[in-house]
Amino acid sequence: MRRREFIFGLIAQLHSTDPAQRIAVLKAEIPRMMERTQVPGLSIAVINDARILWRQGFGVKLAGSNQRVDNDTVFDVGSVSKTVFAYAVMKLCERGILNLDTPLTRYTPLRIIDNDPRLDQITARHVLSHTSGLQNWRSGTEPLEIHFTPGERYLYSGEGYNYLQSVITHLTGHVDPSRCSTFEDGLKVCATDFDAYMHANLLVPFGMTSSEEATRPTAGAPWAGRLCIPKRTALSFMVATIPDFTPLPLHR
């Protein structure tokens, strides 16, 4: 909530349409907003017309420390990973492997919900635009279900991205049935090579040398040792620096 308050508060300060004036406002307002919302550190880049106009780190890497944030500071990208995943999906569409408007059940035998024919209506377009009808997360008290006809309205859905990831894995990779874990509501998830696919088809081509899948057990990295059977890889699979992350929105 503090991060959201910080972002909305900062946007409210950007009245000028001149990039130089906006950057000046950001430089002045960011430290004040950080103190007000108790944000210890951040890194920001301003992009205009496919050019990086400015980037800078503010604050510290860890609350209470004196380690300053700089351009090489690695952040957990969190749900912004969805935009990276969406780019990979669109590249598959360009290659003719996937169609945005073809029901996902035509690509995989997996049926994530039983006895609901609306599952056969959900497409990649629905998932990417959060109009699939699936809720954000399932739980023991809230099983996975389709809450409305796909495409009818908006409902933010991490579960939809999980479903689309499983379809893409079926089309482009493989699943190891000998390495599985069980999550909420009895959901069984098995290890895949999805991280290797994203690395080879996105991170390497874009030169994102400081970015990694947060589920990789990279020796010495701050995210080392995490479980390599991710339930939510497509949703929050990346750790990255700002210089690494900016090539993606610059691509046309």
Same domain for 133 and 23? no
Q: First and final CA of the chain: distance in angstroms?
A: 33
Higher per-residue confidence, 114 vs 231: 114
Domain boundary among 73, 89, 107: 73
DSSP conformation class of 34: H
Q: How many CB atoms lie within 10 A of CB 54?
A: 16
Does residue 101 lie within any of the structural domains? Answer: yes
Host domain of residue 189? 79-242
Q: Which of 22, 45, 73 is the last residue of a domain?
A: 73
Q: Bigger pLDDT: 137 or 219? A: 137
Instruction: Give the pLDDT confidence of 162-201 residue by residue, as tens digits.
Output: 899 989 988 988 777 788 777 766 677 777 777 788 888 8
pLDDT for 223 equals 34
What distances in angstroms separate CA 152 from CA 117, 138, 158, 160, one per listed residue? 15, 21, 18, 15
> Does residue 41 share a domain with residue 86?
no
pLDDT of 3 reads 65
Domain C-terminal end among 18, 42, 73:
73
Are both 14 and 136 inside the same structural domain?
no
Nearest to 112 by CA among 231, 246, 248, 249: 231
Count of domains for the chain = 2
Q: Are 61 and 101 found together in one domain? A: no
In a domain, 252, yes or no: no
Q: Do residue 64 and residue 90 come from a single domain?
A: no
How large is the C-alpha radius of gyration of the chain? 20
What is the CATH classification number for the domain harbouring 112? 3.40.710.10
Does the structure show a pLDDT above 90 at 220? Answer: no
